[in-house]
Amino acid sequence: MLSFRSFLTVLISLSLFISSCNKKKTDSNERGYETSSTYTNPLLPIGVRPWATFYKDHYYYLQDIDDRITIWKTKDITDLKNVKGKDVWIPKKKESAFHLWGPELHRIDNKWYIYFAADDGNTDNHQIYVIENSSDDPTDGEFEMKGRIATDAGNNWAIHASVFNHNNEWYMIWSGWQTRRIETETQCIYIAKMENPWTLKTDRVVISKPEYEWERQWISPDGSKTGYPIYVNEDPQFFYSKDKSKVLIYYSASGTWTPYYAVGLLQADANSDLLNPASWTKSKSPVFSQNEDNQVYATGSPCFIPSPDGTETYFLYQARAIDKEPYGSLPSRSVDTRSPRLQKMEWGEDGLPVLGEALSEIEKIKKPSGIR
């Protein structure tokens, strides 16, 4: 019997082969752009929690692969189907060898760091780890384990770490449990200051809990559900308002196995104390969610990237083309139906990003400015 990884590898390879065979060389569409200057979603047939950064004319793309970390390097983020990824980290120790979730690549003090969550085979034991590479290109050289980032004295469950620099201070944000799950699981968004890229220097502070109904959906429309209630705030991502007067943290809420998975927004004044929960205000409704008309469901995990020439901003996100997960709930399902998507954001009159609506898989989208 094929292992999960072997099955997934075969499925992705087959999907990419079919995609390449069907690829059109030239044509035009209703918007007047040549096909070579447009793309359609999804960027890959399968991909959970897509993330990318832009550095020296290249995009570096990552997503969940469960037992390793892979980087796709490309000048055209919309052409991932024709890019071969490079494995940059295969776990060496059992405690961090399973369920590698949410890898993010960050450039700090002229070195590359990848933050990710992993466990010992039991997903209840997820912790945050970081690896380091001193090469200028993260696909060159070797990554070395810097260690587990202790997020609290009780070593509570922690995933989806992201870091950012604000006013010359480094912060880490992540999703975690306040206490170990007993009958109900509640994921919160935490923040702390960092002493260095692998150590926190302050206690964690919770800045968001799943409180609204749209953040607490764990039962799908057909009645399928997890074995116990799971209320979700996860996958926090930093961004600024247009004039940088506001610090923004986007996050995903509700069960990703339901169509209700959606994006929320926290914001704080840029001059406020980010470790004070009172500094943060939360959107009362999602800022990006499923689009039933376009058959896009379970939208979440936004990541913001510039166009190559810096004149536009796009966001990566994950979504499904079906309204329910047919293979059961995490972590028992055998195939994940989520895939990475990309679309352009605009700025609203209030200086906040406007994410718009999730576009359909037949929509031809103009490629980011500067891609040749």
Tokens in use for 31? Answer: 């918007």
What pLDDT score was predicted for residue 66? 92
Identity of the amino acid at 273: D
- Residue 15: give the domain boundaries: 4-366
CATH of the domain at 323: 2.115.10.20
How high is the pLDDT of residue 16? Answer: 44
Is residue 371 one of the residues assigned to a domain?
no
Q: Is 131 part of any domain?
A: yes
Residue 2, pLDDT above cutoff 90: no
What is the C-alpha to C-alpha distance for residues 16 and 81, in angstroms, rounded to an integer?
Answer: 6
The 10s digit of each residue's pLDDT in 160-178 is 999 999 999 999 999 999 9
- 138 within a domain of the structure (yes/no): yes
**Whole-prediction pTM value?**
0.90
For residue range 236-257, what is the model confidence (pLDDT) as tens digits?
999 999 999 999 999 999 999 9
Using the predicted structure, report yes or no on whether residue 227 has a pLDDT greater than 50: yes
Evaluate whether residue 372 is within a structural domain. no
131 in Cβ contact with 112 (< 8 Å): no
Q: How confident is the model at residue 282 (pLDDT cuts 50, 70, 90)?
A: very high
Query: Strand locations in 41-198, DSSP E?
Result: 51-55, 58-62, 69-74, 86-89, 98-108, 111-119, 127-133, 144-149, 158-166, 169-176, 185-186, 188-196
Q: Is residue 308 part of a domain?
A: yes
Per-residue pLDDT tens over the stretch 326-356:
644 444 445 689 999 999 999 999 999 999 9
Given this model, what pLDDT does residue 180 score? 86
Domain count, the chain: 1
Residue 23 has pLDDT above 70, yes or no: no
* Any domain includes 248: yes
